[in-house]
């Protein structure tokens, strides 16, 4: 595990005024890649997700601490600074920090920062090179822009629930906050693009090349409807729930075996032929209803029933072992425990441990970054910070405040 800053974003500083999941997902990605992320939190309470448990990190006596597992998941490689932005002194701290940062990212309700002079319009003139990213439920404009947005409701409004779940069941959300996570990823890409544009444009003019990034959860949810969305735009026919099946490929779903389940993901006619050969079912190959993928999609229910009769005759391991040798895509339906016990996941270091001052074990386990870069690898420098852990450090290091100034701010409840 790399603890020194080796990332390509070393030297970039992010002023992170986000909480919950979408914004913190974005800033953890940037932090893993080497950016210095300053997490702004409300004094006394901080990020809402600190309280979203159990489970919580346990202390040496086995008691719950203030750090939830939810909070830990997206707050690595950040420094926590508590600031009360409702106070003029707190607003001034934010403005001074903005002048020392490349990016400000926030996820307040639309217009929520305007009354403090911390919205983009209020900061653009003073900080023309600042990349300012706003994440909201519905965007900065439009008839629903005033509404708050949460992952669950956005999954519902954004269409993904209508195509998730069993055909005869109720609409179903994805088991994790995927609308938030995907919006966070779009935010990271947008921020990096804006930094690239600013730095490139700065070679040719005197500056003023910052910009406002307006990201909406609903927009990004609509964007990652991907082929389901494209199917509708092409045919103007709504897709209905197919359970674990695929709207455009057959067989491509979960199948029951004699002892559990497995995923069969046949992507082309050659793979279907190999499956039929291993399943000792040449009659499927000879059936005109199943010759091509188009045929198989049109005769989905018939084929799936026939394949299910075959797969239930043997164990999951039988199918996995045999089909893998023939390079037919397949896999087990793992539990979360199974995932982190998988030797491939372990080899790829998708579980990492970092020292943590509140943990009775002295460290916390976190999900590792999937980004593998040969020359500028991600690094794990800071565990998710405790509330206000770096307040004095940041005020002294970046704003050159002496001990007396910091004490006055603390006594007045500003930090």
Quick check: is 239 in a domain? no
* From 47, 102, 180, 214, active-site residue: 180
Q: Annotated catalytic, 180? A: yes
Nearest Cα to 94, choosing from 115, 78, 77, 116?
Answer: 116
Distance CA 180, CA 170 (A): 22
How many separate domains does the chain show? 2
What three-state secondary structure class fits 244? coil
The per-residue pLDDT for 268 is 97
Q: End of a domain among 332, 354, 385?
A: 332
95 lies in the same domain as 213: yes
118 lies in the same domain as 46: yes
Segment holding 178, helix H or strand E: helix 178-201
> How many Å separate Cα 386 from the centre of its chain?
21
pLDDT along the chain (415 residues), means of 10: 93 98 98 98 97 97 97 98 98 98 97 97 96 98 95 97 95 97 98 96 78 98 97 96 95 98 97 98 97 97 98 98 98 97 98 97 98 97 98 98 97 97
* Residue recorded with tokens 């439009």: 142
The per-residue pLDDT for 139 is 98
The per-residue pLDDT for 206 is 66
71 lies in the same domain as 199: yes
362 lies in the same domain as 313: no
The per-residue pLDDT for 208 is 84
CATH number of the domain enclosing 391: 3.40.50.10540
- For the record, the structure tokens of 304 come out as 């799936």
305 lies in the same domain as 390: no
The per-residue pLDDT for 205 is 74
Distance CA 97, CA 123 (A): 12
* Environment class of 42 (CB within 10 Å of its CB; exposed 0-12, middle 13-18, buried 19+): middle
311 lies in the same domain as 360: no
* Residue recorded with tokens 């870069």: 373
Quick check: is 232 in a domain? no
pTM: 0.94
CATH number of the domain enclosing 301: 3.30.1540.10
Which positions ≥6 away from 365 have C-beta within 8 Å? Answer: 351, 352, 353
How many beta carbons lie within 10 A of that of residue 218, not counting itself?
A: 22
31 lies in the same domain as 173: yes
Quick check: is 387 in a domain? yes
The per-residue pLDDT for 1 is 79
The residue range of the domain holding 293 is 252-256+261-332
323 lies in the same domain as 355: no
111 lies in the same domain as 143: yes
* Residue recorded with tokens 């519905």: 138
How many beta carbons lie within 10 A of that of residue 35, not counting itself?
A: 30
């Amino acid at each position: 595990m790399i603890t020194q800053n080796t990332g390509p974003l070393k030297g970039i500083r992010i002023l992170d005024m986000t909480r919950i999941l979408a914004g913190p997902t974005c800033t953890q990605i940037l932090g893993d890649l080497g950016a210095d992320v300053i997490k702004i939190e409300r004094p006394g309470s901080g990020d809402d997700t600190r309280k979203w448990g159990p489970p919580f990190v346990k202390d040496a006596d086995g008691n719950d601490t203030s750090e939830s597992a939810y909070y830990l998941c997206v707050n690595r490689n950040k420094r926590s600074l508590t600031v009360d932005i409702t106070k003029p002194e707190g607003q001034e701290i934010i403005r001074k920090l903005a002048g020392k940062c490349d990016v400000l990212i926030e996820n307040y309700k639309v217009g929520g920062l305007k009354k403090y002079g911390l919205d983009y319009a209020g900061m653009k003139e003073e900080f023309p090179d600042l990349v300012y990213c706003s994440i909201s439920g519905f965007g900065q404009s439009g008839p629903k822009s005033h509404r708050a947005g949460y992952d669950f409701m956005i999954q519902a409004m954004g269409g993904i629930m209508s195509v998730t779940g069993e055909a005869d069941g109720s609409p179903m959300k994805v088991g994790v906050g995927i609308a938030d996570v995907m919006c966070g990823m779009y935010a990271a890409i947008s921020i990096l693009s804006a930094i690239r544009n600013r730095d490139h444009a700065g070679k040719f003019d005197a500056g003023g090349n910052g910009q406002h990034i307006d990201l909406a959860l609903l927009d990004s949810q609509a964007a990652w409807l991907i082929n389901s969305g494209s199917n509708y735009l092409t045919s103007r026919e709504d897709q209905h729930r197919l359970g674990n099946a695929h709207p455009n490929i057959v067989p491509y779903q979960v199948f029951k075996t004699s002892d559990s389940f497995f995923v069969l993901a046949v992507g082309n006619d050659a793979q279907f032929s190999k499956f039929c050969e291993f399943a000792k079912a040449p009659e499927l190959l000879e059936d005109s209803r199943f010759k091509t993928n188009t045929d198989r999609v049109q005769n989905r229910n018939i084929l799936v029933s026939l394949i299910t009769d075959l797969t239930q005759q043997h164990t999951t391991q039988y199918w996995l072992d045999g089909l893998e040798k023939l390079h037919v895509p397949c896999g087990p339906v793992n539990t979360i425990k199974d995932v982190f016990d998988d030797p491939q996941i372990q080899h790829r270091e998708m579980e990492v441990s970092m020292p943590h001052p509140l943990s009775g074990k002295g460290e916390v386990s976190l999900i590792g970054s999937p980004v593998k870069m040969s020359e500028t690898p991600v690094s794990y420098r800071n565990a998710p910070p405790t509330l206000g852990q770096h307040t004095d450090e940041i005020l002294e290091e970046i704003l050159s405040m002496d001990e007396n100034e910091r004490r006055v701010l603390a006594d007045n409840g500003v930090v």
